[in-house]
Amino acid sequence: MKHALKIFACNSNDGLASEICSRLGVRPSQLEISRFSNDNLHVQIQENVRERDVFVVQSFTEPVSDHIMEMLITIDALRSASAQRITAIIPYYSYARSDKKDKPRISITGRLIADMLVTAGANRVLTMDLHADQVHGFFRVPVDHLTAIPTIADHFRQNYDLANMVAVATDAGGAKRVGRFSERLGIPMAIIDKRRVSDTDVKQGEVVGDVRGRDAVIFEDEISTGGTLISTINTLRAAGARSIHAGAVHGVLCGPAIERLREAAIDSIVVTNTVYVAPEKQLDKLTVLTVAPLFASAIERIHSGESVGALFE
């Protein structure tokens, strides 16, 4: 099966790509990404991909525009080199947050990036825990949408007593996601009444649900600047939570996030390696789980024509 499978890694998350290759028993395929003196990106595929099943791994992390362009040019180069099928593996699709026209004269950028990937030559997309489920429908090619909920839930099951635990949604919009998480663990859930003032300023009100004297687990799709998380922690402390933990799929941890979390009254934080967490962002209370086995299994199933959805049954 694996003689025709090739996996290329752009520059955003070499560690995850290498682990995926190791799990599949294949070596990372070779490409060169460089810049001309005028700052234009240059990509050269350094091995034969004619009639091969090709996968390109790239998370849309800082610098986001550079990483998107790297992937687009790599996909176009693979198409020009006569690859049989090109699957864009995007563990973290950051523009999924731009999923609606909630202000005048703005772009629904999540749809724009989807169109660009297809125009470049992507025949399929494999991603994980999109910020909004409707982004799945922005693509004109098949999309396999993985979730790290089982991975994070298993971590809490193995390391904590669930008898006194409650899952917490930071707002009503995240209730469906947290509901899946709480159902997986067999624990109740609570919801915070949240009002977003700006990208970095969040106001929160009352807790809907019982958290007093309980171990609260805040569950989110991502931790970005940490503003929502800090506000939720303060709300839960005021509501009498005994201990507070956080689980998030994408540990973006940008801007003031690390300083905020270092000082936060939180017992533990769990993220996955969809986003590379640099050494300077590592905290004693932070645990990074790997999702490489899940991506490797999905790649193997896509390559062999098996069901990817069966991974979660």
Under the banding of pLDDT at 50, 70 and 90, the label for residue 1 is very low
Residue 296 within a domain: no
User: Mind listing the pLDDT tens digit for each residue in 173-214?
Assistant: 889 999 999 999 999 999 998 665 555 555 657 899 999 999
- Whether residue 168 is found in the same domain as residue 268: yes
| pLDDT > 70? residue 238 | yes
Under the banding of pLDDT at 50, 70 and 90, the label for residue 4 is confident
**What share of the chain in percent tops pLDDT 70?**
95
Residue 269 within a domain: yes
Structural domains in the chain (count): 2
Residue 169 within a domain: yes
Count of other CB atoms within 10 angstroms of residue 38: 5
- Whether residue 120 is found in the same domain as residue 156: no
User: Mind listing the pLDDT tens digit for each residue in 7-42?
Assistant: 999 999 999 999 999 999 999 999 999 999 999 999
- Whether residue 141 is found in the same domain as residue 257: no
Q: Is 194 a catalytic residue?
A: yes
Q: Check if the beta carbon of residue 270 is closer than 8 Å to that of residue 155.
A: yes
Residue 304 within a domain: no
- Whether residue 242 is found in the same domain as residue 182: yes
- Whether residue 126 is found in the same domain as residue 189: no
- Whether residue 157 is found in the same domain as residue 251: yes
- Whether residue 115 is found in the same domain as residue 163: no
Helix axes 64-80, 109-120, angle to 10 degrees: 30
- Whether residue 202 is found in the same domain as residue 139: no
The sign one gets for the Cα dihedral 217, 220, 223, 229 is: negative
- Whether residue 121 is found in the same domain as residue 162: no
Domain boundary among 93, 123, 146: 146
HSE, side-chain direction, 13 A CA sphere, residue 38: 2
Residue 210 within a domain: yes
- Whether residue 85 is found in the same domain as residue 153: no
Q: How far apart are CA 13 and CA 250, in angstroms?
A: 13
- Whether residue 10 is found in the same domain as residue 133: yes
- What was the pLDDT predicted at 200? 55
Residue 297 within a domain: no
Q: How far apart are CA 275 and CA 190, in angstroms?
A: 27
Strands (E) across 36-179 are located at 41-45, 53-57, 85-90, 124-128, 143-146, 165-169
Instruction: List the alpha helices (DSSP H) in 169-291.
Output: 175-185, 227-238, 257-263
Q: Which CATH number characterizes residue 166's domain? A: 3.40.50.2020
Q: How far apart are CA 17 and CA 8, in angstroms?
A: 8
User: Mind listing the pLDDT tens digit for each residue in 79-131?
Assistant: 999 999 999 999 999 999 999 998 999 999 999 999 999 999 999 999 999 99
Question: What average pLDDT does the structure give for the chain?
Answer: 94
- What was the pLDDT predicted at 63? 96
Residue 23 within a domain: yes
Please give the residue range of the domain that contains residue 66. 5-146
pTM of the shown model: 0.94
Q: Which of 194, 203, 281, 285 is catalytic?
A: 194
- Whether residue 138 is found in the same domain as residue 193: no
